[in-house]
Amino acid sequence: MFPKPKAVLFPNTYAFESEPMVKPTGFREYDARWLFNKEINLMGVQALGMGLGALIAEMGVKQEIVTGHDFRGYSASIKYALISGLMASGCKVHDIGLAVTPMAYFAQFDLDVPCVAMVTASHNDNGWTGVKMGANRPLTFGPDEMGRLKEIVLNAAFGNRSGGSYQFHENFPARYIADLTNRPKLKRKLKVVAACGNGTAGAFAPQVLEAIGCEVIPLDTELDHTFPKYNPNPEDMEMLHAIRDAVLAHKADVGLGFDGDGDRCGVVDNTGEEIFADKVGVMLARDMSAIHKDAQFVVDVKSTGLFITDPVLQAQGAKTVYWKTGHSYMKRRTNELGALAGFEKSGHFFFNKPFGRGYDDGLVSAIAICEMLDRAPGKSMSDLKDGLPKTWSSPTMSPHCADEAKYGVVDAVVKHFEALQKQGGQVAGQPIRDLVTVNGVRVTVADGSWGLVRASSNKPELVVVVESPVSERRMRDMFEAMDSVLRTHPEVGEYNQKI
């Protein structure tokens, strides 16, 4: 028998060392995230491993799983606790060691293993840990699997069995790097800043980019789990400004920034200006749909309206659907539709054949960007960006809102705008043209300006994004309109960043 996990235990006590702690809110919509030692302890991670093994058996999937860990001071110990739980449940565990998340996804294919459990807190601040899981490559868990996993773990309904085993795969990164770089070298000599924020990608990104023919300027690629400069998150302005400075200092063609677990890539052009990931997606969609006729794309609700309105995409016969934000949702929808690629504003890009295997990999995205530049020999990154119709868009802005309250707030905001639309009311001085409610609410008004409010799937926050094809003023009008609705809810706190 294994004890039922407690929601709260306190470090430096007998109970903390003798019982599992698992805070229920750590089970997110499509992965798991906790503050280590505050919301989960090592016995809690062990319980998670046993629960995951039980769920895999319940799903009728072979109990064989790939695991790896990101570069944080505590990730290895968390992985070994997870492994002990997986083995207790009867799983054969394939450990690839220190890895970026997409390396674990690649290992599912390369080692022919059905399941994955990657220990990572992605771009979350130090103190956080988590696990990205899947049992049907290239997909990762969605709400149904996460809900069932939560039920099994919190009720300690493990049904452990014998037969678990462990195998460590030595030098596995070399296989991943060989797979990425087994392609014709770039014809164009590109100078590329590779920025890793001292996170896991620093061990792999520079050599991958060099192998495809780039001249690489490494920026904070030394592994250091204290993250001394800034958090490795290419959506944060601090990291983007550091990339900008390096691009300008070295006269680089492009700056590429990778997040903590290497499944996202941020882009700074040759003038030092950040290109938001959704605009990079439009540029890549133009490039890919020029080669592949009638290309289909999937984009998340935070993304620019240009995927629908861009005249180049229209002329090339490209079709785009908007879907729920979140790497698991987007991966699944891209897979279901057999789309050429899926693009998420956060920088998760999902390339199907011939570009990738359907999972998100920041290095595959980086290679796609370099190959796009290679196919446009007379044009700089800023030329390609300036070739897009002009829009004014905000970064992703996140006001604090407790996990227990955020979904209720978003439901109320959705109902507010639905009622306003029925009444023929206005937002930012204009009638509502349409509402998309697959994930929170995206409100588009008559002039094409839009605003989005949704709940973050992995942090105690809401997510707000606004864009206007008209002017910066209209973008700010939309932000004020969305924020004024949020301010009627006292549970909504301060923003992490604002326009």
For 152-191, the pLDDT digits (tens) are 999 999 999 999 999 999 999 999 999 999 999 999 999 9
> Does residue 9 surpass a pLDDT of 80?
yes
The pLDDT of 304-313, averaged and rounded, is: 93
Q: For residue 220, what is the DSSP state?
A: S
pLDDT at 396: 87
pLDDT of 236 over the 90 cut? no
pLDDT in tens, 365-417: 999 999 999 999 999 999 999 999 999 999 889 999 999 999 999 999 999 99
Residue closest to 399 by CA, chosen among 325, 493, 488 = 493
| pLDDT value of position 346 | 84
- What is the average per-residue pLDDT within 8-27? 97
Q: What is the pLDDT of residue 314?
A: 96
Give pLDDT, residue 29: 86
pLDDT attached to residue 208: 98
pLDDT for 145-158, tens place per residue?
999 999 999 999 99
Select, from the ranges 1-5, 300-304, 361-365, the one with the highest average predicted confidence (pLDDT).
361-365
Question: How high is the pLDDT of residue 479?
Answer: 98
Tens of pLDDT along 59-86?
999 999 999 999 999 999 999 999 999 9
The residues annotated with a catalytic role in the active site are: 122
pLDDT at 458 over 80: no
Give per-residue burial for 425-462: e unless 16+ CB within 10 Å, then b.
Answer: eebbebebeeeeebbbbbbbbebbbbbbbbbbbbbbbb
**Mean pLDDT along residues 342-368:** 95
Integer angstrom CA distances of residue 215 from 167, 194, 211, 456:
37, 10, 9, 37
Mean residue pLDDT of the chain comes to 96
